[in-house]
Amino acid sequence: MEQGKRAVIIGAGPAGLTAAFELLTRTRIEPVVLEKCDYMGGISRTVNYKGNRIDIGGHRFFSKSDRVMQWWLKILPMQAVDGEHTEITYQRQTTRVAAHPEPSDPEREDRVMLVRNRKSRIYFMRQFFEYPITLSGDTLKKLGLWKTVKIGLSYIRSVLFPIKPETNLEQFFINRFGRELYLTFFKSYTEKVWGIECSQISAEWGAQRIKGLSIWKTLTHILKKMLPKKKGDIAQKDVETSLIERFLYPKYGPGQMWEEVAEKVKSRGAEILTHWNVETIEHSPSQTGRKVTAVVARNEQTGETRRFTGDYFFSTMPVKELVADLEPPAPPAVREVSDGLMYRDFITVGILCERIKLRDSSGKLVEDNWIYIQEPDVLVGRLQIFNNWSPFLVAEPGKVWIGLEYFCNDTDALWHKSEAEMIALAKAELASMNILDPQDVEDATVIHMPKTYPAYFGTYDRFPQVISWMNEFDNLFLVGRNGMHKYNNQDHSMLTAMTAVDNIIDGVRSRDNLWALNTEQEYHEEKREEKPIEEREEVSVG
């Protein structure tokens, strides 16, 4: 079956490489992957800077899908922990993972998936707040009596007099949390991530990503915790096991996973061609709609162009660019919507230093993996402490390796700052927040990554027009994050690729099951259990 057929895959990120791997292991279709850059993993790459490794924003590996969890652990065996089974709990969802028959010891082996404790907090008013934010005595003490009273009163006001109609994200937040809590913990970070005021983001985004959260749920949660514990109470046991959240993380960062997958793809005889930028997608009518006949790619190093024909095409390139590159062109109405899709770009500054001032009570480096910076007087949005993701990311033991995350548009002045200017800004902001003394900085690097966040504004509300026109292609599969203009994490991006291959194998023509991924999973999860307040941040961060 399918012998001699070829699939052309655009992009060697998680979705493209998963598609290639699935085709090679489950079909006889031969994939060829075209990647415009010289690295594997796309946004999930890891940059190696003089032996210090840095992610494009820390990438935790956790999925509600067993299929994805098992897939990852087949590529990189899990380190030996907890005997026969290991429980990985994240966002109050627990997955039991069977120990590998030959578990790896990260001290001796490189191909290993670490099990890491998750800790993250909010940095606001130059101090730490628990994350997820809880109305604990500690929080209230730090906020002060006056602020606490204001939060309470403004919440009561929102309950009694909700804003109607609720059209934008600001109104959405205020109606659920009150203006004061919104201003304190939601506004600054959300606006840093998206670059526009919450009042200009559709309330629909909140409804999709932050559904069902309320202070009442937080209070109920606190009350439940205060109730006496019954012996053998299974629910209580669940709470206890979920107290320590853990995720998987490759010893050398997410890029290690995707370099490993790329090696497996190549060792099975498939080609991954780097520096090939797909610029034209040729198509023609078919009996049932239309089909892609070939893509034309240009080599970024030599300028050479090549035409790649195929039977199937998988695209992980931004859908906006894909539609613009179609030949013959897409209808003006479709083009108008896709041209109006927007993105958020991303800069990370890696800083290697002797020490930072964030220490716990015993004087040791804090254990946070990442810290949300809620301070409105700085541009940095999030801080990663890479030592706490994997100690193996840091070349020299004893040094501290951190990453500052800046969300921006490629048209902003920030995007065009020189490396020296960006490093100076990062150091000044860290100093102003009392996180680091600039004299302790030994080295630094700056990484730009365009189109990290597909935005749910611009023409996004009319995106279904693009989807339905693209669904008429018989042999083209839009998969992944920017490939579908969807807020997909690695696991969702992979699942779209896996499902596309399932559809080829099963002869399923409809693309509905691809577009339903992520959305439906979230939906089922919400029906099954109450979502904790922290998810408002998780989802807005990506």
Task: Give bridge partners of residue 488 from the DSSP assignment.
Answer: none
CB of 541 to ligand FAD, least distance (A): 7
Q: In what order do the strands lie in the sheet with 326-327?
A: 305-309, 290-299, 276-285, 326-327
Alpha carbon distances (Å) from 305 to 259, 276, 310: 26, 9, 17
Burial of 246 (0-12, 13-18, 19+ CB in 10 A): buried
CB of 478 to ligand FAD, least distance (A): 10
CB of 22 to ligand FAD, least distance (A): 13
Q: Are 488 and 496 in contact (CB under 8 A)?
A: yes
- Asked whether the CA dihedral 142, 143, 149, 151 is positive or negative, the reply is negative
From the list 196, 166, 465, 448, the residue with the least C-alpha distance to 340 is 465
Residue where the block lists tokens 């998680």: 14
- Asked whether the CA dihedral 365, 366, 368, 372 is positive or negative, the reply is negative
CB atoms within 10 A of CB 16: 33
| Cα 19 to Cα 258: distance, rounded to the nearest angstrom | 12
> How many alpha carbons lie under 13 Å from residue 59 in its C-beta half-sphere?
28
CB of 366 to ligand FAD, least distance (A): 19
CB of 35 to ligand FAD, least distance (A): 5
The nearer residue to ligand FAD, 206 or 254, going by C-beta atoms, is 254
Using DSSP bridges, classify how beta strands 290-299 and 305-309 pair: parallel, antiparallel or unpaired.
Answer: antiparallel
From the list 220, 251, 356, 257, the residue with the least C-alpha distance to 18 is 257
Report how far Cα 238 is from the mean position of its chain's Cα atoms: 27
CB of 115 to ligand FAD, least distance (A): 15
CB of 28 to ligand FAD, least distance (A): 24
CB of 134 to ligand FAD, least distance (A): 23
What residues line the site for ligand FAD (CB under 6 A)?
A: 10-16, 34-37, 42-44, 56-57, 59-60, 277-278, 316-317, 346, 452, 480-483, 488-491, 493, 542
The nearer residue to ligand FAD, 150 or 481, going by C-beta atoms, is 481
Task: Give bridge partners of residue 351 from the DSSP assignment.
Answer: 402, 444
The nearer residue to ligand FAD, 206 or 483, going by C-beta atoms, is 483
The nearer residue to ligand FAD, 59 or 531, going by C-beta atoms, is 59
Ramachandran area for residue 317 (φ above 0: left; ψ -120 to 50: alpha; else beta):
beta
Contacts of 524 (CB under 8 A, 6+ apart): none
The nearer residue to ligand FAD, 56 or 351, going by C-beta atoms, is 56
Q: Give the three-class secondary structure for 251.
A: coil
The nearer residue to ligand FAD, 178 or 254, going by C-beta atoms, is 254
CB of 306 to ligand FAD, least distance (A): 12
The nearer residue to ligand FAD, 215 or 270, going by C-beta atoms, is 270
The nearer residue to ligand FAD, 15 or 78, going by C-beta atoms, is 15
Report how far Cα 234 is from the mean position of its chain's Cα atoms: 32
The nearer residue to ligand FAD, 10 or 383, going by C-beta atoms, is 10
The nearer residue to ligand FAD, 60 or 427, going by C-beta atoms, is 60
Report DSSP letters for 355-410, one per residue. Answer: --S-B-TTSSBP--SEEEE--TTSS--EEEEGGGT-GGG-SSTT-EEEEEEEEE-T
Contacts of 509 (CB under 8 A, 6+ apart): 288, 474, 503
CB of 32 to ligand FAD, least distance (A): 12
CB of 39 to ligand FAD, least distance (A): 7
Report DSSP letters for 131-189, one per residue. Answer: SS----HHHHHHH-HHHHHHHHHHHHHHHHS--SS--BHHHHHHHHH-HHHIIIIIHHH
From the list 506, 501, 481, the residue with the least C-alpha distance to 7 is 501
CB atoms within 10 A of CB 10: 30
The nearer residue to ligand FAD, 120 or 175, going by C-beta atoms, is 120
The nearer residue to ligand FAD, 9 or 504, going by C-beta atoms, is 9
CB of 344 to ligand FAD, least distance (A): 9
The nearer residue to ligand FAD, 91 or 184, going by C-beta atoms, is 91
The nearer residue to ligand FAD, 37 or 80, going by C-beta atoms, is 37
| Cα 10 to Cα 478: distance, rounded to the nearest angstrom | 10
| Cα 88 to Cα 47: distance, rounded to the nearest angstrom | 27
